[in-house]
Amino acid sequence: MTVQEKLGQLQQLTWTGETGPGGGQTAETEDAARAGRLGSVLNIHGAAHTNALQRIAVEDSRLGIPLLFGLDVIHGFWTTFPIPLAQAAAFDPEVSRSDAEVANAETRTNGVRWTFAPMMDVTHEPRWGRIAEGSGEDPYLNAAYAVAKIRAHQGAADGSELAHDDRLAACAKHFVAYGGAEGGRDYNTVDMSEQRLRNHYLPPFKAAIDAGAATVMAAFNTVGGVPAHGNAHTMQAILKDEWDFDGFVVSDYTGVQELIAHGFAEDGADAAALAFTAGMDMEMVSTNITEHGESLVESGALPLDRLDDAVARVLRLKFALGLFETPYCDESAEITEPSPAARAAARAAAARCMVLLKNEASALPLAPDLASVAVVGPFADSTDLHGTWAGPGCRRFPSVSVVEAVREAAPSATVTHAGTDPSQAADAARAADVTVVVVGEDPALSGEAAARADIALPAGQEELIAAVAATGRPYVVVLVNGRPLVLGDWYDAAPAVLEAWHGGIEAGSAVADALFGAVNPGGKLPVTFPRAVGQIPVYYNHESTGRPYDPDEKYTSKYLDLEDGPRLPFGHGLSYTTFTTSEPTPTRESITRDELAAGATVEVTVTVTNTGHRTGDETVQLYVHDVAASIAQPVRKLRGFRRVTLAPGATTTVTFPLGEEDLGFWTNDPAGTFRVERGRFDVYAGTSSTAPAYGTLRVL
């Protein structure tokens, strides 16, 4: 390979032509492919379309190296599943596996073999629009979902199944700490201690690499003043050296070029040199590596062995994906629309993500023999409940709306609809047995570059709820949103509130399934809901401080003008039935550090019972607290969860192993030191992060 051909493998361009069958092809991309100056293309799909471009690379260029096509398949290709934050609310990574299984077939048959997913950015920032795209505020939950998605996309951790026609290469993103943006403003500064980086933001990525993630995408932000796209500490020292990552790092869009705007690089050549010597392997969209690479190699600014290493990483994945053997996809096998089975899977997933936030006097489920139901609000008839990063499907296959699904779920009822006008909604409520108020956020209000400074329900919606409430008629509220919201006074008055998130192509059907009890909601909040935006950051896995809140003591950590604690805590979620959980019982009172280092664990058992009158799901959550350590530890750390389905009166015992990884923490050592310290650990178990029951364990 010539230096220019090597540099070409490190270049990814975005597709600007039509991306359906028979669409146009952009000359720049074709020319680069023909000249062997192109390694990958993103935002292209369609079997005929990708084959046409692939043919140019394989048959016209000197070496015939196939192109790698990548796309953001974050929660569905044609069949949109619930947004990832909603999937995390299921506290069941199987939901993500189901999503990936459907997406693999649809994506692969459309010529794409690489998805820029899963996103695993832990965040404590509900103002940040991309909170919708990850698995919430907890590292352990993010890690569980990241691993599930990667394994479902890629198969075996050694990459041996990537060539199968139902597999995709995954991409762990965004490396790293993107969710720590100051003020929740996208792309903003991220600055934190090494221990916080390693204890909160890195664990999902380490789990992803251990699960065999084929690629990693760099983050737009700085980490400790050094942009992630040029950060040798994170990309080289941690990711490649400490973790032995042998896949490749792709930039996020023009992230290499943006090193200039960061004030880190002087010009494009400098940006390319800084990025690729820090561990970058492929440049997306901006073209500094192909424009300046040859002179950088000649000057030694880009060492040839670094160039060869990056090229080898890219080619290894192309071989593993079978691109050299089968560069083209079978146009006759192309999936062109959601199948009934895919829709059913999306509907089941959306129902499993629902969180019953409150339900007074069993306002829910609705009686199946209702004579009349009013469905009102700005999203009552919305067919765009896909959410952010919804893939090509959202442009072609509308969501099932709530009102449409209610009509189907209650065929004998008179179902009326009113939109955003409060007086019309009140009129409809007065004439109905019950009113379903569907409020929340337009999908455009979350996602990339969609931070909100005020995270209450958008203008007019609280007034609409109040108008319905003022009629005195029965009503329930359904939220369709992409982030935690500040729930106003309306929440205290509402008889029942169901968190439905942006539920995807079958969102309305899943809402109706939950409203009428075909499904008993069992989800839990993967993020804290703050009382006010001024309270942010507020999250469950916080430090105690030296003066934790005490209502009887002035000089403690609090706000003068706000009740203490969040509106709704991490892990909160109700059911149409009730459950009790026992105190967590460690099977032994102590364990030594040597035993832990040798892989021994302490089992903690928790018994849960369905004390109600209908079958339902409860998610038992296990939290630990190292009560005295050389680095102040979170008051609780999630280290186990299990969603169980129990019939009325049934009981089951859940056992959680606690080992070294659960009881230790990373220190501020930049070289990475993980330790378990002697002393007492409190162990909490229950149905949310506020679980009162606890046991104790000593490490000797």
CA distance 691 to 584: 11
Q: What is the CA radius of gyration of the chain?
A: 26
CA distance 178 to 122: 8
* Beta strands 674-675; 602-610: pairing state: unpaired
Number of residue whose CB is nearest ligand GLC: 116
Question: What are the tokens at 133?
Answer: 């795209």
Does the protein bind ligand GLC through residue 205 (CB under 6 A)? Answer: no
Does the protein bind ligand GLC through residue 448 (CB under 6 A)? Answer: yes
CB-CB contact of 40 with 12 (8 Å): yes
> Which of 61, 72, 79, 467 touches ligand GLC (CB under 6 A)?
72
Catalytic residue among 121, 186, 252, 384: 252
Give catalytic status of residue 252 as yes or no.
Answer: yes
Question: What are the tokens at 406?
Answer: 């209610």
Q: Please say which residue, 284 or 683, places its beta carbon nearer to ligand GLC.
A: 284
> Which of 253, 539, 576, 656 touches ligand GLC (CB under 6 A)?
253
Task: Count residues binding ligand GLC (CB under 6 A).
Answer: 7
CA distance 445 to 477: 20
Among positions 108-127, residues that touch ligand GLC (CB under 6 A) are 116
Map 16-48 to HEC letters: CCCCCCCCCCCHHHHHHHHCCCCCEEECCCCHH
Tell me how crowded residue 683 is: count the other CB atoms within 10 A of its CB: 26
CA distance 273 to 153: 33
CA distance 605 to 607: 7
- For every residue of 47-96, DSSP letters joined together read HHHHHHHHHIIIIISSS-PPPEEEE--SS-SSSPPPPHHHHHHTT-THHH
Q: What does residue 697 show for φ and ψ, rounded to 5 degrees?
A: -145, 140
Cα-Cα end-to-end distance for the chain? 58
CA distance 267 to 164: 42
Q: Please say which residue, 208 or 498, places its beta carbon nearer to ligand GLC.
A: 208
Question: Which residue is it, tokens 């949310």?
Answer: 688
Q: Could you tell me the smallest distance in angstroms from the CB atom of residue 133 to ligand GLC?
A: 8
Q: What's the order of all strands across the beta sheet hosting 355-359?
A: 355-359, 496-499, 475-480, 434-440, 372-376, 414-418
Give, in degrees to the nearest 5, the angle at Cα 436 between 434 and 441.
165
Beta bridge partners of 616: 646
Q: Please say which residue, 254 or 667, places its beta carbon nearer to ligand GLC.
A: 254
> Which of 138, 252, 462, 618 touches ligand GLC (CB under 6 A)?
252
Does the protein bind ligand GLC through residue 240 (CB under 6 A)? Answer: no
Angle between helical axes of 422-430 and 461-470 (0-180°, round to 10) = 30
**Per-residue binding letters, 4-43, with ligand GLC (x by CB under 6 A):** --------------------------------------x-
The amino acid present at 101, given as its one-letter code, is E
**Per-residue binding letters, 159-198, with ligand GLC (x by CB under 6 A):** --------------x-------------------------
Select from 445, 456, 451, 457 the least CA-distant residue to 388: 445
CA distances from 618 to 349, 365, 610, 627 (A): 16, 17, 8, 28
Select from 137, 133, 135, 141 the least CA-distant residue to 125: 137
Q: Could you tell me the smallest distance in angstroms from the CB atom of residue 13 to ligand GLC?
A: 12
CB-CB contact of 176 with 197 (8 Å): yes
Point out the residues that are catalytic: 252
Note the residues at the interface with ligand GLC (CB under 6 A): 42, 72, 116, 173, 252-253, 448
